[in-house]
Amino acid sequence: MNSDIAVKNHDLKAGFVSLVGAGPGDPDLLTVKGYRVIQQAEVVVYDRLVSEQILALADANAELIYVGKKLDFHCVPQEQINQILVQKAQEGKRVVRLKGGDSFIFGRGGEELEELAEYGVAYEVVPGITAAAGATAYAGIPLTHRDHAQSVQFITGHVQKDGREIEWQSLAQSNNTLVFYMGLKQSGHIMDNLIAHGLDPQISCAIIENGTRPEQRVFQGKLNELALLAEQAQSPALIVVGSVTELHNKLDWFNK
Ligand code: SAH
């Protein structure tokens, strides 16, 4: 038997966009399908959190277009990214749109596909390991556990597009694991609201910085220490709230 995984020889077609999730950081966490299409791409449109080793898989002649945050912290506007994708596909190019983690989890993948659909551009979606799954796995924190949490919620710490507040009441009342993306700057707000809405201030929480990368750091403490913990941490980081985070002390393997 061939040792290569040859379930299906996937070919990236001309005039087609493959929306690929690159995973949370460790380049080995890219899917086999993602690996294949990146190698075949003529154009790779990529974001800030995509690791260099994954970009290096692209053909030497491929056009690499960076659309993440610049040094002055300004992003390429979303409409411009959409236009680039439509234009390159309409030129008949084989296009990979490469995003950190999974494109459908706080990645605006849906918005980009809506635009492609509107212009009649064909596409596929290659899922990636989202930061919540990757970073907690590498921190030894099971997102669910029969003794701790029956469900998990992924929440954005960013203010919503329409300015709506997070529904703190339902988050604080549940017995879930809560994972906040983009929440580092909002950690005081998150801590205060969860406690104000009834979550136990003594419940365990963790911040995972640079999850799955060699420089990964985990800060673990109580919910009422969250803002203090966040002062030590840097982006990209996830905030995990729930008693599953206690298991980090026992199950950590990556930072050992
Ligand atoms: N689509 C991505 C999320 C993009 S939002 C995904 O599925 O993972 C960006 C946020 O993701 C960051 O602010 C941070 O909260 C989180 N994040 C991404 N990579 C991370 C990593 N390696 N470690 C910790 N958090 C990470």
Ligand 1 within 6 A of 238 CB?
Answer: yes
| 99 vs 175 pLDDT, higher one | 99
Rg (Cα) of the chain, in Å, rounded? Answer: 20
State the average pLDDT over residues 111-134. 97
pLDDT at residue 131, as a whole number: 98
234: left (phi over 0), alpha (psi -120 to 50) or beta: beta
State the average pLDDT over residues 235-240. 97
What's the predicted TM-score (pTM) here? Answer: 0.94
pLDDT at residue 11, as a whole number: 85
List the one residue out of 71, 72, 78 whose CA is nearest residue 45.
78
Question: 12-16, 195-199, 223-227, 234-238 — which is least confidently predicted?
Answer: 12-16
- For residue 210, the CA-to-ligand 1 centroid distance in Å is 9
What is the number of other CB atoms lying within 10 angstroms of the CB of residue 146?
7
Ligand 1 within 6 A of 47 CB?
Answer: no
> Which residues neighbour 206 within 8 Å (Cβ) at sequence distance 6 or greater?
139, 141, 218, 219, 220, 221, 239, 240, 245, 248
Determine which residue's CA is closest to atom 11 belonging to ligand 1.
Answer: 181
Portion of the chain with pLDDT greater than 70, in percent: 93
| 153 vs 7 pLDDT, higher one | 153
Q: Is the dihedral of CA 158, 31, 208, 232 positive or negative?
A: negative
Distance between CA 52 and CA 83 in Å, rounded? 24
Give the chain's domains with CATH numbers: 12-129 (3.40.1010.10), 132-251 (3.30.950.10)
Residues involved in catalysis:
47, 69
Structure tokens at 200: 């136990």
Structure tokens at 46: 């990529």
CA distances from 174 to 53, 93, 156, 182 (A): 40, 48, 17, 21
Ligand 1 within 6 A of 131 CB?
Answer: yes
The 3-class SS string of 2-18 reads CCCCCCCCCCCCCCEEE
* Confidence tier at 71 by pLDDT (50, 70, 90): low
Q: Are 205 and 239 in contact (CB under 8 A)?
A: yes
* Confidence tier at 8 by pLDDT (50, 70, 90): low
pLDDT at residue 103, as a whole number: 97
